[in-house]
Amino acid sequence: MRREVTLRDVAELAGVSSRTVSNVVNGYANVTERTRERVQRAVEELGYRPNVLARNLAQGRSGQIAVVVPYLDTPYFSELLQSVIRAARVGGYNVLIDQTDGDPEHERAFIADGSRRLLFDGVIFSPLGLDQQALTDRDPTLPLVILGERSSDGFFDHVGIDDVAASRQATEHLLDMGRQRIAAIGDQPYATGEAAQRRTRGFCDAHKGRGLTPQEDLIIQTPRFNRIDGAQAMNHLLDLPEPPDAVFCYSDLVALGAIRSIVSRGLRIPEDIAVIGYDDIEDGSYSNPTVTTISPDKEWIATTAVERLLLRIASDTPPPGLELRAPHRLIVRESTAGRTPDAR
Amino acid sequence: MRREVTLRDVAELAGVSSRTVSNVVNGYANVTERTRERVQRAVEELGYRPNVLARNLAQGRSGQIAVVVPYLDTPYFSELLQSVIRAARVGGYNVLIDQTDGDPEHERAFIADGSRRLLFDGVIFSPLGLDQQALTDRDPTLPLVILGERSSDGFFDHVGIDDVAASRQATEHLLDMGRQRIAAIGDQPYATGEAAQRRTRGFCDAHKGRGLTPQEDLIIQTPRFNRIDGAQAMNHLLDLPEPPDAVFCYSDLVALGAIRSIVSRGLRIPEDIAVIGYDDIEDGSYSNPTVTTISPDKEWIATTAVERLLLRIASDTPPPGLELRAPHRLIVRESTAGRTPDAR
């Protein structure tokens, strides 16, 4: 590799001290016009680049924040990331993105391993593999904002929608349609599946609120929240002696997979089976049928997460960790309402 | 902000020289066991973190590569990025991702502005706003691999599929079905729309190869390659006195938008209108109907781009810039073949 041109090289060529070169490069006033010109000429001649990173380091910051998500190819995250990058840029920060594949060790390294710490000034983190305890065992000096389904321990901020309430609302929408056998796709019984568990709780709460008991065999567990998970779970449900007449899917991707299975069997949506998703990804407003969904306010989540993180980075004393509830709303589309004449 | 604990602080507490601390931290052998223990205790007591970034800088590298794409929420890019991140990690590199929104100034800053240079050792870049000339006016010392629709100038590597051949193949598939009025959605006549122009050329070549002339009014220009672009263009085509009986879409997102418009009008796919897309995003294998498409080998593109970039970073003398043609294939699905009994 080529050796970098240093401040000292410039100083030597210009016949001045390194400090003088530094003063010129940083735009300080205490240099005569003649010296400034001589230094500038040497800078250009050598192609010297002021070392931004070194300067940041001297100030104890890198000018970067890290955003750590389980999967980049999940539309929910890629849509959210886009908003995070824009908000960070407004705050003068570059974004270093990493995907963990939900691997707990990889996730832990990001928040616990101090040696990577100087690459970024703070982290916006959407954990999947790590449980609440592991979050607590992190590098305590790291400015941290958590997205998704954890809770603040009082030392980091947590931004997310109220999953239990949103899932209850989604299920009530299906109950309001008079559906009797409502399935749920996406439950995860393990410690790490907190998002799934909250959605299952909302699903059950909605039933109980109407004096109903959800049917255990209609709550289907899936390893992830992808199209393939929805398609396989739906195939299983359609093979039951008494298939469901409605299904609450824990993501829009799961809903799109389920819809594909239903349509492939020649069944009608919503007449035979109504479908509701979660996340409001763009895909769901163009699919056939379009997908009724719970829409988290992604712009709110992204800008709030960045604002809180930059505040933490700038603070001498870390501000208390907040639970920040993002708004959400139910968007009714064809998968529950049927085709309307003015459908787009 | 808290002041970082320095090497000097450790040296002071341990009662040794900074050099000795450095030797211990870097694992050099020339330290007695007793001194090593004393330094280790001081390191732990103070919570000292060896400054990885500073060490990298001293070696003239950051351990990061940048991947610059126009839009993160485009599934083609998010699927590709996922493979790039995995390949880079295998090579010991972190990935700094940036999205440019196709803004030429933002794109230029990444490859021309030396001041950001020390944040990354090289760039994998998918330009949208910049033309070939602007690519040539870059920082010549920057290891660079270009994805997408540019050509190598002999100083950077370019990885991409043969767009003209792939588009010709897609169009011939529709001609082979006996379709007479084939539309194209996604043309862009401006200098920066090179990807679009190559696809239009392939579309025209396929017609000419059969002694046919493509109909000018069936080649529709769109600002981007998104669902909304496909939906609007298709609505326009369906309003023509003689609508097309097939349509070649320059991305799967465009195809999904077009399919939505066709289905909304109660028309049948492929009986009334056959549709073919481009990119092979996951969405297209779950949509109703599933989308026939040109599938670029994204894994090949990602691993080849990372390998070439790491080679450039490691080379004292930059290797010559290569044109690397990624494989692609036509995948036939329901949007041209119709529903088969064994459809997933």
Tens of pLDDT, residues B332-344: 999 999 987 544 4
Q: Name the residue among A79, A141, A344 with its Cβ closest to that of B2.
A: A141
Q: Does domain B64-161+298-328 have CATH number 3.40.50.2300?
A: yes
Mean pLDDT of chain B: 86
pLDDT digits 0-9 by tens, B282-323? 999 999 999 999 999 999 999 999 999 999 998 888 888 898
- Out of A134-148, B31-45, B240-254, give the one with best mean pLDDT: B240-254
Could you tell me the two tokens for A342? Answer: 């003015």
Which residues of B fall within a CB distance of 8 Å from A51? 57, 118
Could you tell me the two tokens for A300? Answer: 């709110």
Sequence ranges of the domains in chain A: 7-50, 64-161+298-327, 163-296
Which residues of A fall within a CB distance of 8 Å from B263? 288
Q: Find the residue in B nearest to A82 (Cα).
A: B72
Angle CA A102–A108–A113, to nearest 5: 145
Is A141 in CB contact (< 8 Å) with chain B? Answer: yes
User: The tokens 């998500």 sit on which residue?
Assistant: A69
CATH of domain B163-295: 3.40.50.2300
Element (DSSP H or E) covering residue B160: strand B157-160
Q: How far is CA A112 from the centre of its chain?
A: 20
Element (DSSP H or E) covering residue B113: none
Which of A86, A81, A298, A95 shows the shortest CA–CA distance to B101?
A86
User: The tokens 């509701």 sit on which residue?
Assistant: A276
Cis peptide, bond prior to residue B270, ω within 30 of zero: yes
> Residue B117: CB partners within 8 Å, gap ≥ 6?
A49, B139, B141, B142
Q: What is the pLDDT of residue A57?
A: 56
| Cα–Cα dist A329/A343, whole Å | 20
Q: Cα–Cα distances in Å, from A174 out to A44, A261, A275, A332, B86?
A: 69, 19, 8, 11, 41
B116 has pLDDT over 60:
no
Q: What's the half-sphere exposure (Cβ side, CA atoms, 13 Å) at B343?
A: 23
Q: How far is CA A61 from the centre of its chain?
A: 24
Which residues of A fall within a CB distance of 8 Å from B343? 264
Q: How do beta strands A292-296 and A328-331 pair?
A: antiparallel
Question: Residue B300: how many CB atoms within 10 A of its CB?
Answer: 17
Is B316 in CB contact (< 8 Å) with chain A? Answer: yes
User: The tokens 């003239």 sit on which residue?
Assistant: B60
* Contact call for residues B209 and B172 (beta carbons, < 8 A): yes
* Contact call for residues A7 and A21 (beta carbons, < 8 A): yes
Q: What is the pLDDT of residue A26?
A: 61
Which residues in chain A belong to E strands, given as ranges?
A: 64-69, 94-99, 123-125, 144-147, 157-160, 182-187, 219-221, 246-249, 274-278, 292-296, 323-325, 328-331
User: The tokens 């006996």 sit on which residue?
Assistant: B178
On the question of a common fold for A64-161+298-327 and A163-296, the answer reads: yes
Homologous superfamily assigned to A7-50: lambda repressor-like DNA-binding domains (1.10.260.40)
Which residues of B fall within a CB distance of 8 Å from A61? 1
Angle CA B220–B224–B226, to nearest 5: 95
Q: Does domain A64-161+298-327 have CATH number 3.40.50.2300?
A: yes
Of the given ranges (A23-37, B151-165, B222-236, B256-270), which has the lowest mean pLDDT?
A23-37
The CATH class given to the A163-296 domain equals: alpha beta
Which of B112, B66, B143, B305 shows the shortest CA–CA distance to A96?
B66
Which string of DSSP letters, residue by residue, matches B297-323? Answer: -HHHHHHHHHHHHHHHHH-SSPPPP-E
Cis peptide, bond prior to residue B289, ω within 30 of zero: yes
* Contact call for residues B324 and B151 (beta carbons, < 8 A): no
Complex ipTM above 0.90? no
Q: How do beta strands B94-99 and A157-160 pair?
A: unpaired
Is A256 in CB contact (< 8 Å) with chain B? Answer: yes
> B96 vs chain A: nearest CA distance in angstroms?
4
Longest C-alpha distance within chain B, in Å?
91
B7 has pLDDT over 80:
no
**Number of cross-chain residue pairs from A and B with Cβ atoms under 8 Å apart:** 155
Q: What is the pLDDT of residue A337?
A: 97
B3 has pLDDT over 50:
yes
| Cα–Cα dist A86/A93, whole Å | 9
Portion 226-255 of A in contact with B at CB < 8 A: 227, 231
Q: What is the pLDDT of residue A4?
A: 64
> Residue B91: CB partners within 8 Å, gap ≥ 6?
B306, B307, B310
Torsional sign, CA A127, A131, A136, A138: negative
Q: Cα–Cα distances in Å, from A117 out to A60, A112, A266, B11, B40?
A: 11, 9, 54, 21, 20
Q: What is the pLDDT of residue B55?
A: 57
Could you tell me the two tokens for B180? Answer: 């007479």
Cis peptide, bond prior to residue A289, ω within 30 of zero: yes
Residue A105 CB-density burial (10 A; 0-12 exposed, 13-18 middle, 19+ buried): exposed
What's the average pLDDT block by block, 10 residues per block, for chain A (344 residues)?
Answer: 68 86 69 85 76 57 83 87 87 82 76 64 84 74 82 81 96 97 91 80 97 95 94 98 97 98 97 98 96 97 95 87 93 94 48
